[in-house]
Every structure is written in structure tokens, then in C-alpha cells.
């Protein structure tokens, strides 16, 4: 499962209701063993905090202040991904890193971002004497994309059974902008105890070995093959989070087998057209809600969350109001999209539960992908 928490949903500038862009993605493993042999509760709501590593996608100014209203910990932050260099997506990064240092963080932190972000951080370190007591593993997007191979992705291993793959897709904007494909894979081996008992094989240390995939021999000389008694489940959840982008079709390949797309919808189609016509020499190179929704409808992705709204749109939803509001964005998207649609607000949380299939010798099964709004993350 992936739990998304929107920390900022405004485009360009903050408003009284919305901060600028930031999105937290918690990587939940509701079964299995985490590193250092710490146990996990079966219910995600009861998981130990150390079993909840998370990613931060973009870090607009004020992101660390938003985090104070949630239960997210900078000590559990596994990686930061920056889509592009515009300030509403990265100005909060130096302050957040400084706060992580002051809170006592010592674990290595991965940052996946344009090379210019490394230059920005170096400037802050030189001019403000910013000291980080932890190692920053900086991975430049340009280097990843230059590899030109099927393996040009970043792998983050959370445990032996739990891993993340982060792939990058170039988008179309005024500066180089990117989408991050986040794929969580969890392997879970379940021992078929009923079968063992039915065959007269009592509980013993052999059961544990079977569950770990080892073939064993019983005291009476019977050989037991692990594949005959273990169900190997593979849980895969994938979301794609796009940075600023005026050409949704850039995401065609990235959306294959994707459970959810998070994409900007800065304007309605009518407003975007007026802006482009008013000043032909300047194109903001953003998407309208209708433009994104039309592409996603044709792509077959069933779940779409729109974010990054212009400050001109008020947070309420009233199609009868003369004041531009979220109903304008919603109706623009609904005019062409029939899937599940949400308009993100600050602190909104969504649970994404991907597909589960059997990968052992038994017949495969599939659990329908689903995305669910679960309320506000604001804890005060």
C-alpha cells in the first residue's frame, strides 16, 4: 500500500488555504519482517513508525511547516524527489534539510533531482554555513536519463521483502520537468499450514524453514518441497506523480499498469486558452484539467488526482458561484473523464492498494486496484 498525503496543492504562490507543491508518499508493508527483525502489526493503522518509510515529491517553501501538522517524521524520510527547478517546487528544500539535521537525523538521505538542485544546496551550505550531519546521496536526473537503458531507475531497498523502484519520465515545460513513477513491490510468503496438518506433519522448526523457501526432510525421511506448501504473494502498487507539464501524452509509456496518476491542472481549458491568446509570446506551459483528463480517459487509467491549482480558484465547490472555484476545475475534467476523479486539497490523504498475485506454482489471482480517500492528515 501507498499512502499519499498532499502537503501543498497551490501553483506558483501559496494561498490562505493551500501551500505550494509537496506530496508525501508513505510505503506501507502490512505484513512481513522489516529490517533489524522488528515486527510489523497486521493492520497498517497500528504499524510502528519505523515501518513507515516515506518519500517526498517536491518541496515548496513552507513544506516543513506543513509536516508539523502531520505524524510524518523526518527520521523516516527515505528519499526526496524534485520534479524541476521552479521555486514553488524546491524553495523549501534547504530549510527542511536543516531541520532534519537539527532533529538529530544521521541516516543517509537520497535526493533525486535536477543537477541544478545540487548547485543550489551547495550555495546554501557556503553562504549560510548549513551543516548536515548525515550523508546526502544526490542522484542527478540528467545522469539517470543519459544511461539510455531499461535499468535507468533508482532502487530503494526497504527490507528483504519490500522495495521501491523510481523511474523518471521527461515532461514538457518551460524548464526541464519530470514525472516520477513510484513502484512498490512486496513479497509475502504464506505457509499452507492446513495442508501440512492434513498430511500429518506437525508444527516444528521445519515449518519455518519451509516458509523461508527451504526444502526439508522430516524425521521419518520424507522430503518436503517448499513450493508445495508455500504461497508466494507479490503485491505491486504503482503511482505516477507528474511535475509541471503541458503535454500529458509524454506519460503514455509511464502509465502502463499504473494504479493512479497525480497531475497538475493549473487552469480550466477556457482560462488556459485565454492566457495563451492574450500573450502569444508567453506560454505558461501548464495543463488544463480538461487536457489532462481527456488524455487519462484514453489511456485507461481509472484513478486521477488533480493538484497544483492556480490561486484564482477558491477552495469551495459551487458551480453556481460567479467566483472561480474548484467546481470549475472539476466540471472541466468531468466533461471528458469517466474514471475516479479527486481534486487534492492540503492534508488530503489517499490510500492506494495495488494488485496482488500468486507467483508460485499455484493459479494466479488478481485483486482489483483501488484508491480511497481516507480523510485529512492534519493532526491538530
Active site residues: 88
- Beta partners for residue 164, in sequence order: 156, 184
CA angle 244, 245, 247 (to 5 degrees): 175
- Whether the CB-CB separation of 52 and 26 falls below 8 Å is answered with yes
Q: Which of 207, 292, 281 is nearest to 245 (CA)?
A: 292
- Whether the CB-CB separation of 186 and 195 falls below 8 Å is answered with no
In three-state secondary structure terms, 135 is coil
> What percent of the chain has a predicted confidence (pLDDT) above 70?
89
Q: Is 37 exposed, middle or buried (0-12, 13-18, 19+ CB in 10 A)?
A: exposed
Which parts of 114-177 are beta strand (E)?
Answer: 136-140, 153-157, 162-170
CA angle 12, 13, 19 (to 5 degrees): 110
- Whether the CB-CB separation of 338 and 39 falls below 8 Å is answered with no
pLDDT at 151: 63
From CA 41, how far away is CA 32, in angstroms rounded? 9
pLDDT at 359: 52
From CA 120, how far away is CA 191, in angstroms rounded? 51
Cell of 378: 492534519
pLDDT at 51: 63
From CA 90, how far away is CA 67, in angstroms rounded? 15
pLDDT at 33: 45
Cell of 330: 472539476
Strand pairing class (303-307; 260-264): parallel
Cell of 150: 531499461
Cell of 194: 492446513
- Whether the CB-CB separation of 247 and 173 falls below 8 Å is answered with no
- Run of H or E including 143: helix 141-146
User: pLDDT of the chain along its 380 residues, tens only?
Assistant: 899 999 999 999 999 999 999 999 999 987 654 333 232 222 344 445 556 899 999 999 999 999 999 999 999 999 999 999 999 999 999 999 999 999 999 999 999 999 999 999 999 999 999 999 999 999 999 999 998 666 678 999 988 788 999 999 999 999 999 999 999 998 877 888 898 889 888 998 988 888 878 898 988 888 989 888 888 788 899 999 999 999 999 999 999 999 999 999 999 999 999 999 998 888 899 999 999 999 999 999 999 999 999 999 999 999 999 999 999 999 999 999 999 999 999 999 999 998 665 455 444 445 455 899 999 998 77
Q: Which of 114, 115, 107 is nearest to 132 (CA)?
A: 107
Amino acid at each position: 500500500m501507498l499512502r499519499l498525503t498532499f502537503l501543498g496543492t497551490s501553483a506558483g504562490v501559496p494561498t490562505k488555504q493551500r501551500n505550494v507543491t509537496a506530496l508525501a508518499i508513505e510505503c506501507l508493508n502490512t505484513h512481513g519482517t522489516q529490517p533489524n527483525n522488528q515486527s510489523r502489526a497486521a493492520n497498517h493503522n497500528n504499524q510502528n513508525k519505523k515501518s513507515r518509510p516515506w518519500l517526498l515529491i517536491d518541496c515548496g517553501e513552507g513544506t516543513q511547516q506543513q509536516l508539523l501538522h502531520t505524524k510524518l517524521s523526518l527520521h523516516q524520510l527515505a528519499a526526496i524527489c524534485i520534479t524541476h527547478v521552479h521555486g514553488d517546487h524546491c524553495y523549501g528544500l534547504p530549510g527542511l534539510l536543516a531541520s532534519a539535521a537539527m532533529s538529530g537525523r544521521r541516516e543517509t538521505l537520497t535526493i533525486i533531482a535536477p543537477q541544478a538542485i545540487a548547485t543550489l544546496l551547495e550555495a546554501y551550505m557556503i553562504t549560510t554555513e548549513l551543516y548536515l550531519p548525515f550523508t546526502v546521496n544526490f542522484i542527478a536526473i540528467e545522469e539517470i536519463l543519459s544511461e539510455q537503458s531499461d535499468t535507468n531507475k533508482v532502487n530503494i531497498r526497504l527490507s528483504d521483502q519490500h522495495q521501491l523502484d523510481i523511474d523518471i519520465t521527461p515532461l514538457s515545460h518551460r524548464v526541464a520537468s519530470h514525472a516520477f513513477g513510484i513502484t512498490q513491490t512486496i513479497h509475502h510468503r504464506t505457509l499452507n499450514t492446513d495442508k501440512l496438518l492434513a498430511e500429518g506433519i506437525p508444527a516444528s522448526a521445519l515449518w519455518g524453514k519451509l516458509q523461508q523457501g527451504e526444502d526439508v526432510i522430516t524425521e521419518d525421511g520424507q522430503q518436503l518441497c517448499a513450493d508445495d506448501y508455500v504461497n508466494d504473494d507479490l503485491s505491486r502498487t504503482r503511482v505516477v506523480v507528474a511535475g509541471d507539464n503541458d503535454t500529458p501524452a509524454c506519460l503514455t509509456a509511464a502509465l502502463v499498469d499504473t494504479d493512479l496518476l497525480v497531475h497538475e491542472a493549473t487552469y480550466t481549458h477556457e482560462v488556459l486558452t485565454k492566457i495563451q491568446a492574450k500573450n502569444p509570446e508567453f506560454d505558461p506551459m501548464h495543463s488544463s484539467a480538461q487536457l489532462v483528463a481527456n488524455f487519462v480517459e484514453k489511456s485507461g487509467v481509472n484513478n486521477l488526482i488533480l493538484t497544483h491549482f492556480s490561486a484564482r480558484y477558491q477552495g469551495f465547490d459551487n458551480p453556481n458561484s460567479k467566483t472561480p472555484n474548484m467546481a470549475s476545475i472539476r466540471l472541466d475534467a468531468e466533461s471528458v473523464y469517466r474514471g475516479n476523479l479527486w481534486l487534492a486539497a492540503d492534508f488530503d490523504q489517499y490510500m492506494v492498494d495495488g494488485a496482488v498475485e500468486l507467483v508460485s506454482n499455484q493459479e494466479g489471482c488478481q485483486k482489483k486496484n483501488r484508491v480511497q480517500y481516507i480523510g485529512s492528515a492534519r493532526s491538530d
